[in-house]
């Protein structure tokens, strides 16, 4: 068990110890989705940061994180 915890800390992926999801950056122009990045897995505090990040609005373009 100690080896697993050490590996978890070194690799930064502790998916067995917390909530995880795949997050994409979504771009809307005038409310219509125009782009989406491939999903990247995030867990724990990093996932919370993505879910709680406010959308960025520049003119008619909005960009936000979508985590599923």
Overall number of domains in the chain:
1
* Position 41 in a domain: yes
* Position 61 in a domain: yes
For every residue of 20-50, DSSP letters joined together read EEEEEEEEEETTEEEEEPPPEEEEHHHHHHH
The predicted pLDDT at position 14 comes to 53
* Position 28 in a domain: yes
Write out pLDDT tens, residues 25-36: 999 999 999 999
For residue 58, name the pLDDT band (cuts at 50, 70, 90).
Answer: very high
Question: For residue 54, what are its two tokens?
Answer: 């406010």
The domain in which residue 63 lies consists of 18-67
């Amino acid at each position: 068990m100690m080896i697993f915890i050490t590996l978890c800390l070194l690799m930064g992926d502790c998916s067995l110890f917390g909530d995880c999801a795949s997050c994409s950056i979504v771009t809307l122009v005038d409310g219509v989705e125009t782009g989406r990045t491939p999903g990247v897995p995030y867990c724990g505090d990093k996932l919370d940061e993505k879910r709680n990040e406010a959308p960025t609005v520049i003119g008619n373009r909005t960009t936000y994180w979508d985590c599923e």
